[in-house]
């Protein structure tokens, strides 16, 4: 049986989710700074774009300029979970071997090409930022 505190948190989370979804005007599951600014300003909380940019910079952990619900709530995102799952030894980077242990459907050549394209530091590993960039580009290609 859930405690009252858990139920209250769940209810608040559901309410925030409803507001988040309402604010997400284009329905892509992510808030832009402009979408959130519009909500705050229409709720009587005058907010500048500079304040929005600062807020988004501190909360946007996948570096795409938008916030998922999990980022907005300060929770671990799907992308962070995936990266942690790939980073078998927890050193903060993903090697080709670690990458291939999860992405078994990719060939050695496909992995090599991905690392060549997204390993901007040249260390033959993907750090979290490089990993996010790779995932974002893949999403853009799929949605094009």
pTM of this structure: 0.81
Indicate the pLDDT class of residue 85, thresholds 50, 70 and 90. Answer: very high
- Per-residue pLDDT tens digits for 2-20: 555 678 888 999 999 999 9
Residue 136: is its pLDDT beyond 50?
yes
Query: Please, where are the H alpha helices in the chain?
Result: 4-23, 33-42, 49-59, 69-73, 78-86, 96-102, 108-118, 128-143
Other beta carbons less than 10 A from residue 88's beta carbon: 13
pLDDT tens digits, one per residue of 38-79:
989 999 999 999 999 999 999 999 999 999 999 999 999 999
């Amino acid at each position: 049986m859930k405690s009252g505190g858990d139920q209250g948190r769940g209810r608040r989370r559901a309410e925030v989710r409803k507001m988040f979804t309402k604010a997400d005007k284009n329905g892509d599951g992510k808030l832009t700074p402009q979408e959130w600014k519009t909500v705050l300003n229409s709720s009587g909380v005058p907010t500048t774009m500079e304040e929005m940019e600062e807020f988004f910079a501190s909360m946007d952990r996948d570096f795409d300029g938008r916030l998922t619900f999990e980022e907005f709530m300060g929770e671990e995102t799907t992308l962070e979970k995936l990266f942690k799952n790939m980073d078998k030894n927890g050193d903060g980077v993903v090697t080709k071997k670690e990458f291939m242990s999860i992405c078994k459907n990719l060939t050695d050549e496909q992995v090599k090409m991905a690392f060549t394209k997204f390993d901007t530091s040249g260390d033959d590993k993907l750090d979290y930022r490089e990993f996010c960039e790779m995932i974002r580009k893949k999403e853009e290609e799929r949605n094009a």
